[in-house]
A and B are shown apart, each in its own frame.
Chain A
C-alpha cells in the first residue's frame, strides 16, 4: 500500500464513546485497497461537502434482474480501486437471527471478493455488501449461493420482505411474523429477483401494533398483528403492579386513548369496556404481566405506505381490519395478487400502490380488487357529495 493517507476530518470521528464507522473503514482498509481508497474518498467528500458517486450502470448476475446496485466514483483517476464499487444485497434470514458460523461464511466470501465492508443491515432489511467490481459479481453470487444465501430485491420489484422478532422472542406477536416473512419471500422469488413492475413494492410484518419494523410508515403492504376479542386482565397481577408502585390511574387509565379502562384503587381492580378498546397496546406495554392480548389473533392488513419522494410520504391505511394469518396464507396471497394485477395494469412508471390508489380513488381500488368497504378503513366518511355512481347503481 502507498504511504499513509492523511484523513484529519475522519480521524476526528474516531474519537468519542460511540463505536466509529471510520475505525471500521480503516480496519477493512488494512486488507482491502478498495476500502483503503474509500477512506480517502470520504475524506475528500468531507473537504468538498459533496458526494463523489455517480449514477449506477446496469450490472448484475446471471438469472437475476436485481440484487446488485451499480456504483462508480466520479474521481476514478484518483481512486482507481473505486472506479467500480457495486453493492450486493443479500437476503437476510427472518428476524435477523444468525449463528456465528453463518455470519463467518458471508465474511469469508466478502473478504476474498469485495471491500470487506458491510452494512448490518440496509434499510430494507438485507445484508449489504458494500463495494466490489463488476468482474467479482458472478463469483460472489456463486459463492454465497453455495453457502445457502441468495440475493435480495432492488429496482422495480418486490423488495426483500422483513419482519419483527415475532414469536421468536416476543409475547406480543399475534401471528408468526418470522414464518410469514420466510414464506412470502420463498413464494415470490420471481417477483423479488426479476423486476417487472411499475415500481418497488415492500412487505413488512409486525406482530403487534407497536410495529417494531415501522411497517406502517414504509411498506406498501403493512401487516400489523392484532386480536379481535377483549384484552384479558389478571387482577392478582394488577395488585402486584400497584404494590410495586405503578400509578395505574395516571400511567395506564389516563393515557388510554379511548378511556376504556377503569381502575378501582380501593379494590385494586382494573376493568375494561371491551367494545371501546382499539387494541393500541399502551396498557399491555406498561403492565404486560397483568394485561394480555385477546385469544382470537390475526392481523390488520394495511396498504400504501411510502417515504417522501415524490408526492409526500404516505402512511399505510386499513384495507382488511382482521385477517387470520396461518400457513400457507392463501387468503392473503390471493388478495395481494389481485392488488398487484390492478397496480401493474394501471400505474404509471415509478408510481407506488398508495399513490395509484390516491390518484384513482379507493372506490375504484376496492371494486377492482373485490375488497369490501368497511368503516374501519376511514377515520370518518367523506364530507362532499361527489360520489362516482356505477352504471348498475342507477336506473336507465
Chain B
C-alpha cells in the first residue's frame, strides 16, 4: 500500500555539500556576470548559473537539464520563484563550460540583478477553463522581444513581468512592474439548461461581487443585470452555464508599477495604463509593442535604483501618460469598491 500524507521530499537531502556547510552562514554575494551569482560563506563559494525556462516543459527537457547538472554540478539544481533553472556549482572552472552548453542547447543564461527575469505566467488556453487569452504565447512573444534585457544586468533596477490569463491573477500578477492580464468585456451568456442541471443557484447568486446576478425562480435559473456586471468571470467558476469567454471581445489589459519588495517603498499594486488590447495570436504585436514602449521609456528616464513604479510615482502618473503618449480615459479612473483612495484630494499636480 502506498503511504498517504508522506509530505514533500526532505529538501535537506537535495542540498549540495557547499550549501550544507555554509547553511545560514552566508556572508555576501556578487554577480560575476549576468546570469551568474557567487555566494560566499566560510566554507567557500557557490556559483549559481541561472537559465530561462518556458515553464511548460516536457519530461525530456527536464532530463536534459538533469544531464547538464550531472556533468557540471554533481546533479544539484533548483528552480526559482520565477521559474528559472539554477545550476548549483561548487567548482568555478565549470561555470563557463556550463554556460556554453546551456546556450548551445537553447537555454539562455541571464535574469539576475537589474535585468528582466522570466515572466511568471498562468496556463491560458493550454489548460485553464476561464482564460481570456493565452499565457504561454504572450510570454514567449514578450520574452523574444525583450531578450536583450534578460541577458543584461545594467537596467535602472530589476523589472518583473507577469502574465495572468484571467482576473483570478494566479501568480501575483497584480504586484508586478508590468502585469499583462487577460480581460473579458461582455456579460456572461446564460445557458439556462446548464445552470439548471449543474449549478447551486444560491451560491451562483452570492458569488457575484456586484450583485448583478439575480435568481429567476420561475425559470429555475438566473438573470444578469447587465449594467452592473464588470465581467470578472467569477460566476463561470461557479457555474458552467455562465459563458464568459468571448472570442471577439476578450483581450489583454496592461497594469504597471507594482512591486513586492519592501525596499525603499511599501509593496504596491500594479495600476492600469492600457485597459484593452486585442487578442492577436500568435504573437500579440500590440502587446509586445506596448510593453517595449514602457520598458524603454523607463530605461531612458529612471534614476539608477528606481523600479518602474518608483520612477512613475516620482515624476507623477500624469507625467507618465504625457511622456508615454498612452491616452488617459475614463477607464483609467477606478469605479470599483476601493476607488476613493486613488482620487487626487490635493490641488498640487503637474501637467
Contacts and interface: CB of A to CB of B under 8 A. Distances in A.
Interface of A: 9-10, 12-13, 15-25, 27-28, 31, 35, 38, 42, 45-46, 48-56, 62-64, 71, 85, 87, 91-104, 106-108, 110-111, 116-121, 123, 130-131, 141-142, 145-146, 148-150, 160, 162, 164-165, 167-171, 173, 176, 178, 182, 185-186, 189-190, 193, 209-218, 224, 250-251, 255-257, 280-282, 285-286, 288-289, 307-313, 315, 348-350
B167 A50 contact: no
Interface string B55-67: 1111111110111
A145 B4 contact: yes
A327 B264 CA distance: 31
Give the dominant DSSP class at B's interface. Answer: loop
Interface in B152-170: 167-170
Contact of A210 (B26, B258, B262): B262
Nearest to B125: A45
B206 A348 contact: yes
Contacts of A100: 66-67, 69-70, 75-77
B224 interface: no
Interface stretch (B126-134, B215-223, B319-327): B126-134
Contact of A9 (B245, B258, B281): B281
A38 B174 contact: no
Contact of B245 (A51, A94, A96, A280): A51
B140 A104 contact: no
Interface stretch (B5-13, B294-302, B343-351): B5-13
A224 B304 CA distance: 26
Contacts of B76: 97-100
A377 to B, nearest CB: 14
Contacts of B134: 42, 45-46
B275 interface: no
Contacts of B32: none
Given A186-B7, A280-B263, A312-B338, A97 B78 contact: yes
Contacts, number: 344
B264 A218 contact: no
Given A18-B108, A167-B24, A310-B209, A120 B7 contact: no
B14 A97 contact: yes
B289 to A, nearest CB: 15
Contact of B264 (A42, A95, A190, A282): A282
A118 to B, nearest CB: 6
14 contacts: A13-B140, A13-B283, A55-B240, A98-B78, A100-B77, A118-B59, A121-B83, A150-B6, A168-B19, A171-B29, A210-B263, A224-B262, A255-B305, A281-B261
B44 interface: no
A146 B53 CA distance: 29
A120 B139 CA distance: 15
Contacts of A121: 55, 79, 83
A13 B46 contact: no
Given A92-B8, A185-B8, A209-B263, A123 B23 contact: no
Interface string B203-228: 10011010000000000000000000
Contacts of B260: 211, 214-217
B302 to A, nearest CB: 12
A119 B66 CA distance: 16
Contacts of B85: 120
Contacts of B127: 53, 71, 85, 87, 130-131
B190 interface: no
A64 B144 contact: no
A7 B206 CA distance: 42
A19 B53 contact: yes
A108 B60 CA distance: 10
A118 B140 contact: no
B108 A17 contact: yes
Contacts of A12: 282-283
Nearest to B261: A210
B5 A189 contact: yes
B247 interface: yes
Interface string B139-151: 1110110010010
A288 B79 CA distance: 24
Contacts of A27: 58, 60-61
A10 B140 CA distance: 11
Given A18-B143, A120-B57, 13 more contacts: A18-B52, A18-B147, A28-B60, A97-B15, A99-B14, A99-B77, A100-B67, A100-B75, A123-B120, A168-B15, A171-B28, A255-B264, A310-B232
B94 interface: no
A9 B282 contact: yes
Nearest to B57: A24
A308 B70 CA distance: 42
A116 B75 contact: no
B144 A18 contact: yes
Contacts of B140: 13, 16, 18, 20-22
B267 interface: yes
Specify which of B6, B131, B262 lies most central, judged by the most chain A CB atoms within 10 Å of its CB.
B262
Contacts of B129: 51, 53-56, 71
Nearest to B54: A21
Nearest to A129: B59
A211 B262 CA distance: 8
A107 B59 CA distance: 5
Contacts of A173: 24
Nearest to B339: A312
Contacts of A108: 59
Nearest to B270: A313
B269 interface: yes
B56 A164 contact: no
Given A119-B55, A214-B172, A96 B78 contact: yes
Contacts of A150: 4-8
Nearest to A92: B8
- For the complex of A and B, list the 9 residue pairs with the smallest distance between their C-beta atoms, beginning with the closest: A16-B144, A100-B66, A100-B75, A145-B2, A209-B262, A45-B125, A123-B171, A91-B8, A167-B24
Nearest to B143: A18
A117 B143 contact: no
